Amino acid sequence: MPSKKYLELQDFSDSDLSNELAETEVQFQKLRFDHTIKGLDNPLRLREIRRDIARIQTEMRRRQLDGLSDEAKAARGKIRHRRTK
């Protein structure tokens, strides 16, 4: 299974993203277990799946932030500004 691209993930609905994340995490756990027990033919597959999980989580977070109200975005900006000091 090739890596999911950023543009492909944008076309998914929120429920599809949640399902894809759950499936990918299960697949990652199985591969990690198999790698520990008997080894994998291509251990770089673990890295690809881990990055796919990060891409999915990033898209979910982007959508969550897009749904915030203007007041919430302003408050979030103040919090981020305080953290950088």
> What is the phi/psi pair of residue 75, to 5°?
-65, -40
Q: What is the DSSP letter of 41?
A: S
Helix (H) or strand (E) holding 84: none
Q: Work out the average pLDDT over 37-63.
A: 93
Domain at 25, CATH number:
1.10.287
Provide the pLDDT for residue 45.
94
Inform me whether the pLDDT recorded for 44 exceeds 90.
Answer: yes
Instruction: Spell 63-75 as b/e; 16+ CB within 10 A means b.
Output: eeeeeeeeeeeee
Provide the pLDDT for residue 2.
47
Q: Which residue has the tokens 């881990």?
A: 50
Cα–Cα distance measured from residue 67 to residue 44, given in angstroms and rounded to the nearest whole number: 35
| Residue 43 covered by a domain | yes
Residue range of the domain that includes 14: 6-83
